[in-house]
Amino acid sequence: MDEHLLGDQALCAAARVVPLHLRAVDHFGRWGGEEFAILLPRFPIIGMRCTIRLHPNTRRIIPAFSLAALFALALALRLYRIDAQSFWYDEGLTVALAVRPLDDIARAAAADVHPPLYYWLLHGWLRLTGTGEAAARAFSAVCGAMTVVLTAILGWRWFGAAAGWLAGIAAAVSPFAIHYSQETRMYALAMLLATCLWLALEAIGWKRMSDRAVDLSHAARFPWRWMLIYGAAALAALSTHYFMVAFVATTALTGAILLRRRAQLAWIAGHLALVGFFLALVWNSRERLAVWTFAKQPTEPLFILSDTLRVFCLGPAAPSASWIWIIGFTALLAAALASWRASPAATGKALAWLVVPLATIIVLSLNQPYYKPRFLLPALPAFHLLLGFGAAALVHSATQRFGVRRGIGVGVLTAAWLVAAAATPLRNEWFNPAFQRDDYRGLARAVAATARPDDAILLIGPGQIDVFDYYFKGSQIRYPLPRFRPLDTAATVAELEQIAQRHRRVYGVFYVPYEADPNGVVNSWLAERAFRAESRWYGGVELAVYELGNAGAPLRNVDVRFGNTLILERVAISSTRIAGGDAVRIELHWRVVASPERDLFLFAHLLDINNRIVAQHDGPLARIPTSAWQPGETYRSRAAVLAPPGAPPATYRLVIGVYDPRTGERLRLKDGRDGWRVDEFCAECSGSLLQARVGAGADGHHLR
């Protein structure tokens, strides 16, 4: 009798333990009195042979070793050139906030559009690693590499070994995932937490067998522990980014559908608690969230769909001729959908994970432009799982038709294709300046190279002060404008007037000014009251140098005709005796003879005796585009040319001209020359004063 009881207990133990080690698509059942059977759909024959022959301990070692290798590959790709690019605006804000005390972070996050958890975690990370670019970004790199491993595990559980490894490879080399794994923001963490949600849900103990919802919670080893892990992951997700509510809602709905009624009550109660927690978070940040975006134009759903597909396939640095790769990714997705009957529950879960957040962002963007590809990054693992499933379906089909070797070959070729598709986007990501982040590091170096102690820094987008001060250590006064949003026009103009009284030169740093200054108050004031010297873009940030005050010289009549459209009537040039680092200020009055009907630019070149350009100004003729100039009207141009601090003693000439920036064609003078020499003057460099003489006319040298 005791032996029978022990036998029954052994059978029960086997029934509890074996399902924990099977995939979601596998079926386990009793075959006879003391025999069990396992149905393994879509299991590779070569894998079956290896499983039979290997010792159980060896079977544990091989997946662990493979996962470790996959993690090492993913981490290496995410750490490669991680500090090659500068922090951009958001990263500077993140680091500045994360180094503050924890209670300050909580208060600041309440006034921000993001919850505080990521900043708290980064706070601890930075205390261990420091605040350097590589150290701060490494936290996201680790999160991204962990997501790759969990994606492979989830793919194994849902779709089988081949799908798991192919999904892991797709995740490891994904340009989209690598981009945000090299950024000090919360999106890599959000992607990791979204994957943890689905893994925890898988481990709670429910499965679909024979198309029926089955509650296996009492058959699982630690059901309530996994429930707690799921709850912790959900809390963390909601505390990382507000849009994560779409991902938590997706897992909540999926669990409510597939769990039995007695498990549903606890499931629903737990999620109601999460709803209360989330509403409290949103309430604390309600004022900031209400004005997060001022724009009211919608984003077209078709654009969101096409852009999401492009970014999920090839990342933000995708080349223009990328359609061939996108077709290949679409084919893998189609293969996954065509094979849904092999794993209907897993396919449905992956589609829900991908589609529900995408549909949510489409609906939110019907009124305001809420769509940002990074908000959908937590759905990227679902995309990779479907790619892995589609690739595994091709492998299975090739194995059935042509044998095991051909099937393995198809799997290897698919993995190689995934790597090849990522090669060009990753090369652009790491080496092509056109795709790199805003370069505050280079901008700060440019300011430090030429700024004098009494110059000022004007930061349009006041939040730039954190990332700007991270790189710039000069003593120059910073003026973050506007002081308040929405901008107070009278207060802003009054502060600009005070800046003009205190400083002769200002360095303007402009980041998305259409948000900070939507009516262009600052730009209009500078166009009227300052001389624009030079402008350079560092990614999406513009650095413009302005000379404040007046020309410092009276206007004189010149009457110089440029082409058939413009006559330069009067000119004012500042002092012809300048020191290295000073500026020549130029004021030009133009009379329109005939409408230019195109936007023309002004160039002003400072030349040495060998006609080499020492310094230059290049930009629009005036604040009003010349295509809008009316015949008979007079318009004013203001410009400045900065003399290099180390300019050698020599006789310099100032030559101005007008050209079409689209073609490079210059407007000719009456004598056929393409530039007019304003004055021949001296530059005082390193204390040496040079003699100058005034001349007229140009020498005919074609300038560039």
pLDDT digits (tens, 9 = 90+) for 143-172: 999 999 999 999 999 998 899 999 999 999
pLDDT confidence of residue 218: 41
Q: Which residues pair with 685 in a beta bridge?
A: 688
- pLDDT-derived band at 285 (thresholds 50, 70, 90) equals confident
- pLDDT-derived band at 648 (thresholds 50, 70, 90) equals confident
DSSP 367: T
pLDDT confidence of residue 223: 62
Among 171-185, 287-301, 491-505, 543-557, which is the least confidently predicted range?
287-301
Q: Which segment, 4-13, 98-107, 682-691, is predicted with the most confidence on average?
A: 98-107
pLDDT confidence of residue 311: 97
Among 55-64, 229-238, 355-364, 628-637, which is the least confidently predicted range?
55-64
pLDDT confidence of residue 33: 64
- pLDDT-derived band at 633 (thresholds 50, 70, 90) equals very high
pLDDT(651) > 60 = yes
What are the pLDDT digits (tens) for 26-60?
777 777 666 777 777 765 544 444 444 444 444 44
pLDDT(410) > 80 = yes
Provide CB contacts within 8 A for 416, sequence distance 6+.
none
pLDDT(211) > 70 = no
Which conformational region is residue 465 in: left (phi greater than 0), alpha (psi within -120 to 50 degrees), or beta? alpha
Percent of the chain with pLDDT over 70: 84
CB 395 within 8 A of CB 414: yes
Among 207-221, 317-331, 462-476, which is the least confidently predicted range?
207-221
Q: How far apart are CA 355 and CA 292, in angstroms?
A: 25
Q: Which residues pair with 74 in a beta bridge?
A: none
Q: Give the mean pLDDT of 474-479.
A: 96
What are the pLDDT digits (tens) for 495-523?
999 999 999 999 999 998 888 888 899 99
Phi, psi of 295 (to 5 degrees): -70, 150
Q: How far apart are CA 194 and CA 146, in angstroms?
A: 12
pLDDT(643) > 90 = no
pLDDT(192) > 90 = yes
Average pLDDT of the chain to the nearest whole number: 85
Sign of CA dihedral 429, 433, 439, 444: positive
Only one residue has tokens 């608690």, namely 273
More reliable by pLDDT, 193 or 402? 193
pLDDT confidence of residue 112: 72
pLDDT confidence of residue 289: 64
Q: What pTM value is reported for the model?
A: 0.84
Q: How far apart are CA 274 and CA 250, in angstroms?
A: 13
pLDDT(576) > 70 = no
Asked if residue 486 has a cis previous peptide bond (ω within 30° of 0), the answer is: yes
Query: Which of 272, 25, 275, 241 shows the shortest CA–CA distance to 154?
Result: 25
The terminus-to-terminus CA distance of the chain in angstroms comes to 102
pLDDT confidence of residue 46: 41
More reliable by pLDDT, 580 or 84? 84
CB 193 within 8 A of CB 244: yes
Q: How far apart are CA 309 and CA 311, in angstroms?
A: 6
